[in-house]
Structure 1
Amino acid sequence: MLNAQQAVTERHQRFVDLAPSIRETIDAIAALRPEQRSDAEFLERRFIPTLGLNDELLHEQPPELSANFGMGLHLWQYPNQLAPYLVWLADNCSDISSYMEIGCRWGGMFILVAEWLRACGAGLKTVVAVDPIAPTPFIIRYFELLREQATVEPIYIRAFSTAPVVAAHVDRLRPDFVFIDGDHSLEGAMRDHLLVRRHADIIVHHDVHSQACPDTTLLWKALKEFEEPLFDVVEFTDQYPSVNGSFLGIGAMKRRGA
């Protein structure tokens, strides 16, 4: 049996091997027609699974999607939640020029959302990934491609979101859109929310309807009420009947008038 370090090494090598396909993924997102980007059923059933899904904690994953586990971007998302979220983004991203993701892990979701924004006409100028781990092969390759194009500035901050360097970047860049998927404790997720709240017109929280993440689920319930005077709120929490339990969930809020 492989020891823990060998398993980590082999997993890292898998992402090294997959990194060259990042360009193909970018091209596939860009090639979608406007009507496809607004078709949640098409995205859920035909497009998102082909991008590749996560293969961890498989008891939380719908077995009918098993052919896509451990492939491509390794998206840790349910297609039936992610698809309507992407449709919503397509309708609400025109003024987005800077995107930040707190807790990017392997980077699949970060790449998808950044490229989705670009494909949908957002004038994206800066993308920022925050995570305490070193940039992964996916992130490294994606940033190489962005630097070749020289139209979007990529920034990777290797730090916890509580580090002063993160706050400094937030104050300097004033990100329009922030996806929060870092510290899943109640205090940690709330700190991340407060960190970006002054500047971001769109704030999205992950794991807002998950029995595996009670703190972020509770926080989202509270934020829906507390932020109602300033933000319109929408959530994407559909589940799969084949899964025993409720997991993941995406909660989005957009500043009124933005």
Structure 2
Amino acid sequence: MNGDIEKAMLVVRRILSSSDTEFHSRSFILDQVRQYGLFFSGWSLLSKFVEWQNCSQFGLLQYPTEFADFAMEVAKLNIDDAIEIGVYYGASSFFLAAMLQRANKKSTYHMVDIADRIPAINEFKSLLNLEVHIPATSDDFKGKEFDFVFIDADHSYEATLRDYLNLGQFAKKAVAFHDICGHEYDHLSGGTVRFWKDFRDSNATEMRIVQFTHSPTEWMGIGLGVKEV
């Protein structure tokens, strides 16, 4: 895992020191995703990105082109403070935190999870403005306001709704959800797919709704609601 972490830290440094031209270039950001690396898996829907996979479980647990476009979109919002519910090993969090901090040096990224699985947190803290809250859930932040809220924890419908009611609805600029096409969670009262459809239908007149769905078969996906203030 150490080699994958060192590689990720190099990418974080590269993003933070990138020129404006580089930072606003999709090809540059997507190349950083490639160099950062994906979570090692045998998932067939990621077969075209097999050479992007790391040798360990430290890596982006994301569909790479979705995540690159999503990170670039959120970085445009000049985020002062962000919170992610459900960070697993923290790989996606570190990448997104780097993007937000490159856009706004004051940006602070709060990482929330029920279990401590994050490797090399002190090394990443030396580069990024991170606050780690473990063990914790959205219940511990109920009603608090952050510029940006990213929900990627328990994928049952009820838990996603709870995270949204606790935190997401109070986001000052934007709220996002992972696995909006994750039909593997449909047995959990409709899971994240059902929640996203409800959210999108209820908020389309109040927010700019953006969907990042690149998989050839419905899978993963990131949904973003941006408040036009």
TM-score normalized with structure 1 length: 0.77
Partner of 1:176: 147
Q: Kindly tell me: are residues 212 and 40 of structure 1, through their superposed partners in 2, closer, same or farther at Cα, counting changes over 3 Å?
A: farther
In the alignment, which residue of structure 2 is the partner of 1:5? none
- Do 1:205 and 1:250's aligned partners in 2 also have CA atoms closer than 8 Å? yes
Q: Write the mapping of 1:149-160 to structure 2, written as runs, cut at 5 A.
A: 152=129, 154-160=131-137
User: Structure 1: where are the runs of 5+ without partners?
Assistant: 1-13, 147-151
The structural deviation recorded for 1:57 is 5.0
Aligned residue number for residue 200 of structure 2: 224
Contact map agreement 1:210 1:246 (CA 8 A) in 2: yes
Identity of aligned residues (%): 23
Cα distance change, pair 17–47 in 1 and its aligned pair in 2 (3 A): closer
CA distance in 1 between partners of 2:165 and 2:105 (Å)? 25
1:133 corresponding residue in structure 2: 115
Question: Partner of 2:184: helix, strand, or coil?
Answer: coil
Distance in 1 between residues matched to 2:42 and 2:105, nearest whole Å: 34
AA matched with 1:114: A
Which of the residues 179, 182, 185 maps onto 1:210? 182
Equivalent residue for 2:228?
256
User: Alpha-carbon deviation of 1:22?
Assistant: 4.5
Deviations 1:53-92 (A, max 9, x none): 011352332x221122125851011122122212212322
Alignment partner of 1:47 is 2:47: no
Structure 1 CA distance for aligned equivalents of residues 109 and 73 of structure 2: 20
Moved more, 203-212 or 65-74: 65-74
Contact kept? 2:45, 2:215, Cα under 8 Å? no
Aligned to 2:163: 192
Give the 3 Å change call, closer, same or farther, for CA 20–39 of structure 1 in structure 2: closer
* Counterpart selection for 2:93 from 91, 100, 110: 110
Confirm or deny that 1:25 pairs with 2:17.
no
1:238/1:213 CA distance change after superposition, 3 Å = same
User: What amino acid maps onto 2:88 in structure 1?
Assistant: R
**Gap regions ≥5 residues in structure 2:** none
Q: Distance in 2 between matches of 1:194 and 1:187?
A: 10
1:59 matches 2:31: no
Give the stretch that moved more between structures: 111-120 or 137-146: 137-146
Instruction: Indicate the residue corresponding to 2:214 in structure 1.
Output: 238
Residues 17 and 210 of structure 1, relative CA distance in 2, 3 Å threshold: same
Residues 98 and 176 in structure 1, CA contact (< 8 A), matched pair in contact too: yes
1:135·1:156 contact (CA, 8 Å) conserved in 2? no
In the alignment, is residue 120 of structure 1 matched against residue 103 of structure 2? Answer: yes
The structure carrying a bigger helix percent of its residues is 1
After superposition, the CA RMSD in angstroms is 2.3
